[in-house]
Amino acid sequence: MLETATMITADAGRTAAVVLTSTIKLDTRAGHLQKATLRATAHGVYEARIGGQPVSKALLTPGWTSYEWRLQVQEVDVIDLVQDGVDLEVLLGNGWYRGDLGFENANANYGEEIGFIGELELTYSDGSSQKIVTDDSWGAHASDTPENSLYNGQKIDARLRGAGAALEVRCLDFDRSTLISQVGPPVVRQESLRPQRIWTSPAGRVLVDFGQNLVGWLRFRVQGPAGSEITIRHAEVLEHEELGTRPLRGAKATDTFVLSGELDSFEPTLTFHGFRYAEITGWPGTPGIEDLEAVVVHSQMRRTGWFQCSNELVNKLVSNSIWSQKGNFLDVPTDCPQRDERLGWTGDLAAYASTATFQFETADFLHKWLLDLAEETRHGKYGVPHVVPDVLKYANFPDEHAEREELFAGPKTIWGDAAVWVPEALWNAYGDRQRLAEHYPGMVLHLESVLPRLSATGVWDQGFQFGDWLDPDAAPDEPWKAKADPGVVATSCLYRSARVAAETAELLGKTSDAERWHELAQRTRAAFNDAYVDGSGRIVSDCPTVYTLAICFALLPEDLLEPAGDRLAELVRNAGYRISTGFAGTPFINRALTETGHIEEAYRLLLETGNPSWLYPVSMGATTIWERWDSMLEDGTINPGEMTSFNHYALGAVVDWLYTYVAGLRPAEPGYSRLLLQPVPGPGLDYAKATLDTPHGTAECGWSRDGEHHVTVETLVPEGILADVILPDGTTHTIASGRHSFEVTMVPTA
């Protein structure tokens, strides 16, 4: 792959993007051109054009992988673009490779020199072939982008177009063993939104509202005096009627455009921003709604899941989950897309993976990320890193954060469990045994990193844990200080991961491994009950998360399941149905209530609108899932915590319960080769329905209420498969493909 090409670069300054060029000269003696293929990749990000036309719709290529071991090569058919004498041009920017990534001025990078490597292979009708490869014969010149940064934004100077100074091309040392074929889907433009409103703030600034928190950039055409500048700042919210930029922390999120004096077109494709609002200065006159559009950008994913119910706030919650997934699935599943972070935090995805696989077709996207996770874990010293790709290992944190190494050293529950829980979600959604086998080594690496951390009693209570991160009762500046005992959380999650690893080993025919992980699971379960559970079913720290995990992960003896469910329901009632869980408990609490018969509590928890709750942000106008339950306070001010954003998907994991329990659409076998349709109607909704494009076709399950006790269940089963139906009255049916309807009379509860 790219055997004869050389990685090349040109220096126009650390912040600038450069253009690398070569002229295509066809071999006219070899007959007609029958095939033209461009193969390319970069340290940095690149955009290739032939004859001035983009070679593909992909953006920010080659994306972000663990560059030390895996660098994706893109292969594009360019037969329609190649002509004799036209230029092959490559715009090369910093991207993630030289992006000054991280937070708290970490300035983490993979290297100080960006570079491009590629080949254009031409095949002719006489059977001969020709290759144009990168080497020091290429030309280079300064681009119209003197500044480009994912965090800070891009500066484009239209006066430099076609007039950039010539630069010297240099060859770079490069490890070819890192080259791999493209695995993940490309990042592409998805849609564009026009402003909903343009106005002048009390401070005299021009503000634009696009009506939706999104990820991408602004695109526009404008004409004004040569040399004049337009500056656009981006933010997710307003505070005190001005742009709310404090949550961005160190990220400037600002694009600057220098006008040529002619009609200029601008689109800053070497950066991205998370924003709903923009502040514009320097525009000639006043921009109108027709002058601007926000371009929505994320990895190519096909929408597969839908939910609809009688409560519009709940429908908006689902929409917010969809938009947060779109915004944070930009080549890497990130925590947030707007501030100085945008990292592939493993804990966020561990909480959300099941939801993600229902909403979009994510098989390739998450497969790519899991391969990076395994490489990072294999080469690291602490188990699964907290972020994947792990650029933080190159961070230069300030001296006052020197204790970070000691604090974060070692595996972390939930964050490390992503190595197991994400493959489990993919297996359930798609049933791909080959890919499960590729993900299994990462499971093993995680579990083996945990074993030395167990205490003599067999529980995982050693070392710092993020735990039930962002428990609403934790202080804003100490989000790890949750009510749930960190040892209870860690030991619960270890049991689940050991059990999943054992089941995976059995599926893959790894008998000795299966025995090993089954033994670990049973040993952990016994240790959990000995250390943390009393004879009445009370669990240490006695808060919703510990009961939730014990119930959903099947840790308790059968005779203690009912008392644990009753205590969980009691705690939910005592809290006034306000949410009281963080990353660990939130994805599972409604399921735990439902499976222990506390359906009313589960529904009331969902439908609560006071702070904190899932619907509080919706009632405050949120269009994505917030990082904190109260990222914005009721008085319209931003949460005082140093860490807050308005586009974090993790706490939106509750919508998985909407799909799988409220509407009742679940896989009975991996990949939905058999369905389990078990809707659970509850108080506060009159109807609910989920639709899923499974690997076998479209499936549906839903219900509607007619009066207090009469419910109609409607289902759709794809061709060629069976479904097990469990109706709300407890009766069961096995049905084949097609539409089916059931009338149910609900028995009133005492």
The conformational region for residue 254 under phi > 0 = left, psi -120 to 50 = alpha, else beta, is beta
Burial of 745 (0-12, 13-18, 19+ CB in 10 A): exposed
The conformational region for residue 547 under phi > 0 = left, psi -120 to 50 = alpha, else beta, is alpha
Active-site pick, 47, 279, 361, 627:
627
**216's tokens:** 């991408």
| C-alpha dist (Å) from residue 118 to 90, 379, 574, 586, 643 | 10, 28, 63, 46, 41
Distance CA 648, CA 71 (A): 27
| DSSP 8-state class, residue 3 | T
**500's tokens:** 């999943």
**322's tokens:** 């969809």
Give the count of beta carbons closer than 10 Å to the beta carbon of residue 549. 27
Distance CA 683, CA 110 (A): 53
Which segments of 186-249 are extended strands (E)?
A: 187-193, 197-200, 206-223, 229-235, 238-239, 242-243
Spatial contact of 42 and 115, defined as CB atoms under 8 Å apart: yes
Classify the C-alpha dihedral 245-476-636-321 as positive or negative: positive
Distance CA 582, CA 21 (A): 51
The one-letter code for the residue type at 657 is W
**Residue linked to tokens 């996207």:** 365
> Up-side HSE of residue 211: CA atoms within 13 Å toward CB?
9
Count of residues in the chain? 750
Distance CA 333, CA 299 (A): 10
Give the count of beta carbons closer than 10 Å to the beta carbon of residue 464. 13
Catalytic residue check, 121 = no
Distance CA 723, CA 527 (A): 38
Which residues, in sequence order, are bridge partners of residue 602? Answer: none
Report how far apart the first and last C-alpha atoms of the chain are (Å, whole number).
70
Burial of 471 (0-12, 13-18, 19+ CB in 10 A): buried
Largest CA distance in the chain: 89
| C-alpha dist (Å) from residue 465 to 355, 374, 407, 441, 611 | 24, 21, 9, 23, 26
Active-site pick, 236, 341, 424, 700:
341
Distance CA 317, CA 728 (A): 25
Q: Is 69 helix (H, G, I), strand (E, B) or coil?
A: coil
Closest by Cα among 516, 461, 470 to 489: 461
Catalytic residue check, 627 = yes
Spatial contact of 528 and 487, defined as CB atoms under 8 Å apart: no
Q: How far is CA 131 from the centre of its chain?
A: 38
The one-letter code for the residue type at 48 is A
Q: Is 157 helix (H, G, I), strand (E, B) or coil?
A: strand
Q: Is 165 helix (H, G, I), strand (E, B) or coil?
A: coil
Classify the C-alpha dihedral 728-729-733-739 as positive or negative: negative
SS3 percent helix, strand, coil of the chain, rounded to 5, is 30, 30, 45
Active site residues: 341, 627
